[in-house]
Structure 1
Amino acid sequence: MICSMTAFARADRPLEGYGLVWEIKAVNHRYLEVSPRLPDALRSLENAVRERCRKRLARGKVEITLRYQQDESDAALELNEPLVKQLSDISRRVGDLVQHSGQVNPMEILRHPGVLSTRQLDVALLQRESLTLLDEALQSLIDTRSREGEQLGKLIEERLDGIIVQVEIVKAAIPRIKEAQRERLRSRIQDVIDSPDPDRLEQELVLLAQKMDVDEELDRLLTHVTEVRRILKKGGHIGRRLDFLMQELNREANTLGSKSVDSETTAAAVELKVLIEQMREQIQNIE
């Protein structure tokens, strides 16, 4: 399975008056870099979040955000009735002591700390549910990465087919190009020397043949193409290995271009570099 490093995932869940939402955004990166953004009440989950990401992701810059929001319909205030009764009794007793017959003011009691409170946050429950939901979000992210990786693999395969076509073009052209160069060299020497030295002529032809010998470069191009396809079929965390092979392919294409003595082979070398660069851009997103 080939995975892209670029993806987005979201997972949410209602939980006893609260709503939990994870959002994960991942882009390509040389290594794995996880940046959690957590609410203060759940800040202690940061190490667990990083560990879960390390177990399931190999590369990429990952921004992962957790939000929780209380359901307004479940946010009613709770009254501390025992404390209210106690405060009311004390207020009456104080009124009797100062000979004040007025009734107890409810608003004064409500202002007392602890009389009104909201539902207490069950941190332990939120932590457990948050990590369970995180696993779902990570799986969604991996599924998206896998689908995008499959498309990247197809694009790379198309470029590999293009490289094979260019190699075959060069192979077919080499005999004709060599013969044309030999004839041009003979003609040039004949124009300069009335009686050309056969030995010197042969030396010049050998040097020209060596310069034009690109069989090794073509063979290595085909070998690298075979290796790229093998790695694509194997799958897994292959981005770095493919990136290295792109460097090797590019080196052979450059050598082929430097040895070119014909417009057809020059055009093939340029096309090879274009195909390799297109693959390299796609591989930058592969995990």
Structure 2
Amino acid sequence: MIKSMTGYGTGLAENQSVKYTVEIKSLNSKFLELSLRLPKHVSDKELALRAESGKQIERGKVNITVIAEYADQTAKSSVINETLFNKYYTQLRELAEKVGDKNSNLLELALQMPEVVGAKEEETDEEEVKILFQAFYKALEQFNQFRLDEGQVLSADLKQRVEDIMAFQTEVEKVDGDRIPLIRERIAQYTEAAVGKENVDMNRFEQELIYYIDKLDITEEKVRLRSHCSYFLEALQSPNPSGKKLGFISQEMGREINTLGSKANNANIQQIVVRMKEELEKIKEQLLNVL
């Protein structure tokens, strides 16, 4: 069963002290483009999360957001660097005295200076890391299920469109049955009208006719197109279908459809070929979102 590259999942895990919420969203992409937003105190877990995401998600433009909420709001609160604050405050006061400014809010200005206010440097305990990964795996499970559900919709649509192309090919085969005899009759009439029936060398005429009709023969293209369509449907139902593999098969289908149109030399067949191309373009658009 195919998977969609579009996905969404959330996971939540908590204990008495902390609650972690993980959100995973993805759109289609040729490669894995992973963006993580983590609280600063668990930034050292980014590599582990990236490695696991690469195994589970495979491809797509993916955004992962991790939110931590503490029962004790001061657990990860900010702290003031008093030494740096005093240094900035002293310098600002001296500058204010030099220019005669007595109304500046030096306290507020000093607090806004770089690195004066920062987060507490605390190590994340093992229990908290377990909670984080529990939420992450729950989000992954929901995310992958979303992809599978979307994949079922895509699979049904792709199957229908390939079957439509095969139905159009059946229409081509019906038209093609009368095409060659009509071409033969038309060429004979033109030749006789041009030089007269008694002046036609029938042996030479037959040789030239065989060469010309061989250029218009589409038997091989019909066989290959039906084979590619069957292979596409087979690959669609395989245990581990690949969007890239299906894309390659659709390219081969396109080559045969184009050749059918160019060699047919028949208005009815060319109209059917246009409808085939419309279905194939829709297939290619859908395949952009297949994992």
Q: CA deviation at 1:136?
A: 0.7
Tell me the distance in 2 between the aligned counterparts of 1:76 and 1:279. Answer: 54
List per-residue Cα deviations over 1:146-178 (Å, max 9, x = no partner).
000011110011011111111111111112111
Q: Is 1:170 aligned with 2:172?
A: yes
Tell me the distance in 1 between the aligned counterparts of 2:225 and 2:237. Answer: 19
Q: Which amino acid aligns with 1:240?
A: K
List per-residue Cα deviations over 1:184-218 (Å, max 9, x = no partner).
11111111112222133213321332122111111
Tell me the distance in 1 between the aligned counterparts of 2:269 and 2:212. Answer: 15
Q: Is 1:57 aligned with 2:61?
A: no
Equivalent residues of 1:42, 1:123 under 8 A apart: no
Q: CA deviation at 1:60?
A: 1.3
Superposition map of 1:33-52 within 5 A: 33-52=33-52
| Residue 18 (structure 2) aligns with | 18
List per-residue Cα deviations over 1:16-71 (Å, max 9, x = no partner).
34332111111111122222111111101111111211221222121111111334
Number of aligned residue pairs: give it: 244
Unaligned regions of 5+ residues in structure 1, if any? 78-117
SS in 2 for 1:286: coil
| Residue 232 (structure 2) aligns with | 228
Q: CA deviation at 1:234?
A: 0.8
Match of 1:197 among 193, 198, 201: 201
Tell me the distance in 1 between the aligned counterparts of 2:220 and 2:164. Answer: 19
Match of 2:268 among 249, 254, 264: 264
Equivalent residues of 1:166, 1:272 under 8 A apart: yes
Superposition map of 1:17-166 within 5 A: 17-71=17-71, 74-75=72-73, 122-166=124-168
SS in 2 for 1:4: coil
Equivalent residues of 1:38, 1:67 under 8 A apart: yes
Q: CA deviation at 1:9?
A: 1.2
Equivalent residues of 2:13, 2:134 under 8 A apart: no
Tell me the distance in 2 between the aligned counterparts of 1:75 and 1:279. Answer: 52
Tell me the distance in 2 between the aligned counterparts of 1:279 and 1:76. Answer: 54
Tell me the distance in 2 between the aligned counterparts of 1:141 and 1:75. Answer: 30
TM-score by length of 1: 0.80
Equivalent residues of 1:41, 1:123 under 8 A apart: no
Q: CA deviation at 1:125?
A: 2.7
Tell me the distance in 1 between the aligned counterparts of 2:28 and 2:239. Answer: 17
Equivalent residues of 2:11, 2:137 under 8 A apart: no
Unaligned regions of 5+ residues in structure 2, if any? 76-119
| Residue 256 (structure 2) aligns with | 252
Equivalent residues of 2:9, 2:142 under 8 A apart: yes
Equivalent residues of 1:3, 1:236 under 8 A apart: no
CA RMSD, 1 decimal: 1.9
SS in 1 for 2:2: coil
TM-score by length of 2: 0.79
Q: CA deviation at 1:123?
A: 4.1
Equivalent residues of 2:24, 2:64 under 8 A apart: yes
